[in-house]
Structure 1
């Protein structure tokens, strides 16, 4: 990856803020301050939180400037207050939050203009600024998920994704052998993506595309939600406790399935990747289908390994950043694209849509790589290692290109379904 210069960094900061404004300007003050689900913060909390992180890192740490609003640090510390408790806090109102963000951004851009990007490790390659860009884009995806949980009519719009290609189906053989996982060279890679290390992977088969709604409907029609044979003990207990019968936001009208998506009701489109399923549902489907979920190592080898050169690419298609021909990212569309919609984004071995559309559950638990080092703070990754989390890979239609790559790692509790999560299956070779 080319190291970004100051103009490119400023452009990324501006682009991220424009998306934040789009998501928060789309609704009125009542919707900004209301909690739409106990799983999510009020939108106005996310709005001020991205400004507070920017102030902490770019204004105070990198710039050495006086605090803008030190008095609100505790309100926007994600570790001090659970999401369900945040509506009761004395948060900045929407107008105050917007003024605060503007003040912080003015100072951050002035810091960018004056600082040298080789002064210390935090600034190498513009990392501190890239960390803030990614943080804001991650919260933008979280706010998009809040919009999906919001009651009421549609307030967001986007064109439909491109059509699919029904010939993308079946499995792809990934040969046995070593490949380099993780990175030492990506300037904006986060600590959990490092260091690069060689992993020897047995041969396996992986689905050429994510599991579609049509595939998943077969599982539902086979009464897969009612048969404990397909579920792990924990999964079956959760299925019963939560009353799971279908993906989140699905409902039946007569014989047909529909879903609610950003305030609109639509028939379930059968060629789309299934979305809003938890890990336990993905695991049960895979078992029913005679397969399993891929490990994180398998997913990354399928996404990055180039059999001709033996090297690991930044993305399945190469090292160039994602374009609209490669992947469904950045809220450009408000749904996963049909399978086969991005042939230019396929891996060398023919695995499609590994980047964008839906986050893909893997069977791997969340931990650091061998030689992991905290950088620049433990609360981003390390404090979550060893918890009840499963790794997700690849990003979704709501993930920005700045916040996903072939090495990027996401994690969440296996019961979570409000995220834009789907999956694909794998099989071991006897």
Structure 2
């Protein structure tokens, strides 16, 4: 997402309108791909019915843009409670009197029509909520986040494949190094200037890390398979106490959607059963699995601070970049984002997207587990509502950074912070490894 700084109000409106249309096209494609039975069915107790996500997208848009920013009368105030994510657990939502698919589509269309009128009439300055189009950008990101959630629901559904996309490009050259030294010292973490950055990314602040090594690419399926073959799931030495208890209780034996057959390991990907591709980043593993693999490999997971320094720090200038490759928006040469492909690209892909230090695939492909809890930055202030971040601080959450192949560029950046429970596997999450640098390795 191009920054809206230094743009005229009309240019900001054009950019907002473009992003709103793009996000809605994706929501429409994800919900039009299935019939009404699939829309209202709960494909997993971990997820909402697709029709709930669709109407929730419209309800959040109505609450913030139609009513708050626009000061307009409600479109459907009678459904607010049904689509309040804090009022009803996902497992309980199918029992609610939800809008039927046709009603939901009509509702989101009516809301969007009003939103475009609000966009045309609202001065994008003076009030923090609308400065540089922030409220509109917040809603764009919200819709794209739910689009990725709906994509995860598609992965959980059974039946004939309904989503299709071309494969990502293959890695064209060997890696220059397996791991990269990240120098110790301070760098600027977070942001105070990115116009659409959310509250937990703020403010920019100095953060210190000791020198460490981080892997150039994420852990691959082939590497993870070696852990399985070595009995990693059966050896408590590699697992934390809570991780081992979960591995036993949930009977984990491999990444989710993997199955062992006579011809080896296969996985199901959006309804397609295929041999596990050894050169792709492993995906659908929980934090505990990632941590166990790291212990087995003699390394560890990076902390969130380490991950961001590896992604953003430019040793030549001493500044932090917006994206690993620089400040320009991501293009198809930089990263596997936006559901252009329905799988991660092979490890080593996207050399043009490498960070200044030479770390690849930090954006897109798979979310990366970090060994850090969700905590506020120094000087954090909730905005525009506590429920986006603040209510989750101190809970049972581990950090995820970088986005996946299902994450849109408008909903991720070098400072973006994601989090989830450490047992979650339905998300498009993988990991890469890090290790402390020895004194003789630090230049």
TM-score (normalizing by structure 1): 0.99
Q: Which residue of 1 aligns with 2:182?
A: 174
* Cα distance in structure 2, aligned partners of 1:337 and 1:213: 12
* Cα distance in structure 2, aligned partners of 1:167 and 1:423: 20
* Cα distance in structure 2, aligned partners of 1:2 and 1:148: 34
Q: Is 1:273 equivalent to 2:263 in the alignment?
A: no
Change (3 A) 1:2 1:60: closer
Output one character per residue of 1:119-164: Cα deviation in whole Å (capped at 9) or x when no partner.
Answer: 3000111000000000000000000000000000100000000001
Output one character per residue of 1:330-375: Cα deviation in whole Å (capped at 9) or x when no partner.
Answer: 1000000001220100011110000000000000000110100000
SS of residue paired to 2:386: coil
1:96 pairs with 97, 103, 110, which one?
A: 103
Larger displacement relative to structure 2 (31-40 or 246-255): 246-255
* Cα distance in structure 2, aligned partners of 1:122 and 1:319: 24
Q: Which residue of 2 aligns with 1:28?
A: 35
1:85 pairs with 82, 85, 92, which one?
A: 92
Q: Is 1:247 equivalent to 2:267 in the alignment?
A: no
Q: Is 1:57 equivalent to 2:64 in the alignment?
A: yes
Q: Is 1:347 equivalent to 2:355 in the alignment?
A: yes
C-alpha contact 1:165 1:339 (8 A) present in aligned 2: no
C-alpha contact 2:354 2:360 (8 A) present in aligned 1: yes
Change (3 A) 1:41 1:53: same
Alignment of 1:263-342 (within 5 A): 263-342=271-350
* Cα distance in structure 2, aligned partners of 1:382 and 1:352: 31
* Cα distance in structure 2, aligned partners of 1:150 and 1:10: 32
Q: Which residue of 2 aligns with 1:258?
A: 266
Output one character per residue of 1:68-124: Cα deviation in whole Å (capped at 9) or x when no partner.
Answer: 000000000000000000000000000000000010000000000000000300011
Q: Which residue of 2 aligns with 1:74?
A: 81
Output one character per residue of 1:165-199: Cα deviation in whole Å (capped at 9) or x when no partner.
Answer: 46225110001111000000000000000000001
* Cα distance in structure 2, aligned partners of 1:351 and 1:2: 28
Q: Which residue of 2 aligns with 1:121?
A: 128
Deviation at 1:255, TM superposition (A): 4.3
C-alpha contact 1:191 1:374 (8 A) present in aligned 2: yes
Deviation at 1:275, TM superposition (A): 0.2
Alignment of 1:128-139 (within 5 A): 128-139=135-146
Deviation at 1:312, TM superposition (A): 0.2
C-alpha contact 2:189 2:309 (8 A) present in aligned 1: yes
* Cα distance in structure 2, aligned partners of 1:155 and 1:19: 14
* Cα distance in structure 1, aligned partners of 2:313 and 2:263: 43
Q: Which residue of 2 aligns with 1:377?
A: 385
Structure 1, unaligned runs of 5 or more: none
* Cα distance in structure 2, aligned partners of 1:47 and 1:2: 27
Q: Is 1:14 equivalent to 2:7 in the alignment?
A: no
* Cα distance in structure 2, aligned partners of 1:124 and 1:221: 54
The root-mean-square deviation of aligned C-alpha atoms, in Å, is 0.8
Output one character per residue of 1:234-272: Cα deviation in whole Å (capped at 9) or x when no partner.
Answer: 000000000000000000111411100001011110110
C-alpha contact 2:400 2:420 (8 A) present in aligned 1: yes
2:55 pairs with 41, 48, 53, which one?
A: 48
* Cα distance in structure 1, aligned partners of 2:26 and 2:263: 38
Q: Is 1:147 equivalent to 2:150 in the alignment?
A: no
Q: Is 1:110 equivalent to 2:117 in the alignment?
A: yes
Change (3 A) 1:288 1:165: farther
* Cα distance in structure 1, aligned partners of 2:311 and 2:353: 10
Deviation at 1:200, TM superposition (A): 1.6
Count of aligned positions: 430
Deviation at 1:2, TM superposition (A): 3.9
SS of residue paired to 2:388: coil
Q: Which residue of 2 aligns with 1:421?
A: 429
Q: Which residue of 1 aligns with 2:166?
A: 159
* Cα distance in structure 2, aligned partners of 1:164 and 1:212: 13
* Cα distance in structure 2, aligned partners of 1:255 and 1:409: 40
Q: Which residue of 2 aligns with 1:200?
A: 208
Q: Which residue of 1 aligns with 2:441?
A: none
Deviation at 1:418, TM superposition (A): 0.1
TM-score (normalizing by structure 2): 0.96
